[in-house]
Structure 1
Amino acid sequence: MLNFKARLHLFLLACILFSMQSCISRLRRPEITGVIVDYDKSPIANCKVGEVLTDKNGRFKLAEERYNAFFLTELFVMEAPPLMVFEPVEKEGFEKDAVSIFNSRGGGRRKGAKYKIDTIFLRKTNQSFDISAMLKNSNWKLGYTKNADTIYLIKDGFKDWCKTDRCSPFYGEYQGLTDNYYTGAKNLPEGMIRRMIDLRFETEKSPLKINMVCEYISTFEGPNRAPDTINTKGSYQVLANSKMILDAGKIKQLSGKFNISEVDLYQMKLTKVQEN
């Protein structure tokens, strides 16, 4: 028969093993709330977001979801699991979209986690745009490819507007054209790490104001090159709502005739017209 000390050791061991098999609550999806509107800011009712439908005011709420993970398994991992959420947004007559969330350790958040996405703008299937009106008296950022045959334009306010999967890849492509240091891309000339170009479109056929700042690699050994800044004026003209003629002043490589190959509320892609 086991003595008291042996029984105590067995009891403590059993407690430890039980605790190791107990569960920890992990976050699968936070509570997500928001409102769905069209490009005229009119609410969209009965739009499917994940497993729910929007109400007459376009509002929706996805309930928080959690799961149980074994303590022993989590102990070996030594950190909170990632959070990966993907909720489709669908409505007949509109382009499909999705709300996605990723956080490398977001699964460790406590019960009651919330994510307020505010307003989602859903694009109609055959959405049309007045390009001249979009550009008039507005500020944009520009990135272009090595041979300047493709231009990406991002309108001020893009990040406040873009909250879904449909528009976010465009911003990633724009970053790849403007920032070698952050993205690891190799679009910029040797030694340059960033090229930031700001545009101010005023009324059509009136001056186009351009500010370009180029930053270069900096090292302890040097010599280091100071940033270059170019301020210039040009002009622009929209043709038949499908083409654009740019005169970029001192930045000659951006001047020319372009097709408006992609357009959305806060973004535009231009491709140079090849002359015969």
Structure 2
Amino acid sequence: MFKKRFVIFLAVSTCLFSSCISRLSRPAISGTILDYENKPIAGCRVGETVTDANGKFYLNEIRYNKFFFPEIFMMEAPPLHFSENIKKDGYLSYNIEGFNRFGGGQSKGASITIDTLYLKKINEVIKPEDYIYTKWKFAANKNLDTLYGTNANFRLRNQVTNDMNFIGKIQDGLIYKFNSTRKPDSAWSAESYNLKTTYFVSLKPNGTYSGKKIREFQNPWKYRKEYDRTYRESYVIPSDSIDTKGTFILSKDKIVFDQAFNKAKNSYKIDSIDRDIIILTRKNNN
């Protein structure tokens, strides 16, 4: 009897330890790669595959197996991280990267579609006049000293052309502190709040622009006292916006706006410009 039970126990234990759970190493990835003239780049190496005549690529899903018994003691799915090289002679090299803290637990059939990726040719010269005349969305600081801009071509998940430091600026905005001059409610005290400024500007070839400046108060609930306890909701400070329009002059690596853009006449240096991003820093007016 003992021997029989031992054999059964051994068989069950073997099954438990030999049974496997499928984990995700990389989802299937599809996308399109173009150059800065919107032409497909064929034969571009993406991971273990290459793009076709239309610039399209597809990477198969990759999975691995883990023993079931040890996995159940982890209490959570493993993280997912993947990185694939993008290479093509005559073009700058890039990487496609992805991270998900618990992404390794996704079921079979996981896939993502990456929006169009634009590769830049080696030593390609970006002319501001080829890209400047469009609608821009700027993350700005209080005095509009620095403008981090994106246009309609910009895709947040396009990790090929978007620097993570730049993404951090446009996602969070250039948030600054200001002092409240009055209490928004009797339960509040005048304290420092965070403010985010976003500037929408449409630049036109005829030298005119139109725009809107929006100011949003960030996380005012952090400074509340008894308001939410009394009314069961957080006090919200309304955003405000200012419409503006005027003229500007583009001269080499400089843009000069008229006084309607801000209280003072603004001259900006084009610190950086690419197909879908631009960084402007204000120069001191003499």
Q: Smaller-chain TM-score range? A: 0.7 to 0.9
| 1:99/1:165 contact within 8 Å kept | yes
Counterpart position of 2:103: 106
| 1:208/1:236 contact within 8 Å kept | no
The alpha-carbon deviation at position 196 of structure 1 amounts to: 2.5
The alpha-carbon deviation at position 17 of structure 1 amounts to: 5.2
Residues 105-184 of structure 1: pairs in structure 2 closer than 5 A: 105-136=102-133, 138-145=134-141, 148-159=144-155, 163-169=158-164, 170-178=166-174, 180=175
Aligned counterparts of 1:73 and 1:252: Cα–Cα separation in 2: 65
Counterpart position of 1:239: 251
SS of alignment partner, residue 44 of structure 1: coil
Query: Which amino acid is the alignment partner of residue 238 of structure 1?
Result: L
The alpha-carbon deviation at position 133 of structure 1 amounts to: 4.4
Q: Which sections of structure 1, spanning at least 5 residues, go unmatched?
A: 181-186
1:50 matched to 2:47: yes
The alpha-carbon deviation at position 61 of structure 1 amounts to: 2.1
The alpha-carbon deviation at position 215 of structure 1 amounts to: 2.5
Q: Which sections of structure 2, spanning at least 5 residues, go unmatched?
A: 179-191, 228-233
The alpha-carbon deviation at position 86 of structure 1 amounts to: 0.7
The alpha-carbon deviation at position 245 of structure 1 amounts to: 0.9
User: Please, which moves more after superposition, 61-70 or 141-150?
Assistant: 141-150
The alpha-carbon deviation at position 36 of structure 1 amounts to: 1.5
The alpha-carbon deviation at position 118 of structure 1 amounts to: 4.4
1:266 matched to 2:266: no
| 1:39/1:121 contact within 8 Å kept | yes
Aligned counterparts of 2:103 and 2:88: Cα–Cα separation in 1: 29
After superposition, give the CA deviation of every residue in 1:133-186 in whole Å (9 maximum; x if it has no partner).
Answer: 4333x32211224564322111134227x52243152222222334x5xxxxxx
SS of alignment partner, residue 73 of structure 2: helix
| 1:85/1:102 contact within 8 Å kept | yes
Counterpart position of 2:203: 201
Identity %: 32
Relative to structure 1, is the Cα distance of residues 150 and 51 closer, same or farther in structure 2, using a 3 angstrom cutoff? Answer: same
TM-score (normalised: structure 2) = 0.79
Aligned counterparts of 1:69 and 1:248: Cα–Cα separation in 2: 65
Counterpart position of 2:66: 69
Runs (4 or more) in structure 1 with deviation over 6 Å come to none
Aligned counterparts of 1:268 and 1:244: Cα–Cα separation in 2: 12
Matched length: 262
Query: Which amino acid is the alignment partner of residue 80 of structure 2?
Result: L
Aligned counterparts of 1:118 and 1:156: Cα–Cα separation in 2: 13
Aligned counterparts of 1:188 and 1:73: Cα–Cα separation in 2: 49
**RMSD of aligned alpha carbons:** 2.8
Relative to structure 1, is the Cα distance of residues 214 and 35 closer, same or farther in structure 2, using a 3 angstrom cutoff? Answer: closer
The alpha-carbon deviation at position 94 of structure 1 amounts to: 1.3
| 2:197/2:213 contact within 8 Å kept | no
Aligned counterparts of 1:77 and 1:86: Cα–Cα separation in 2: 25
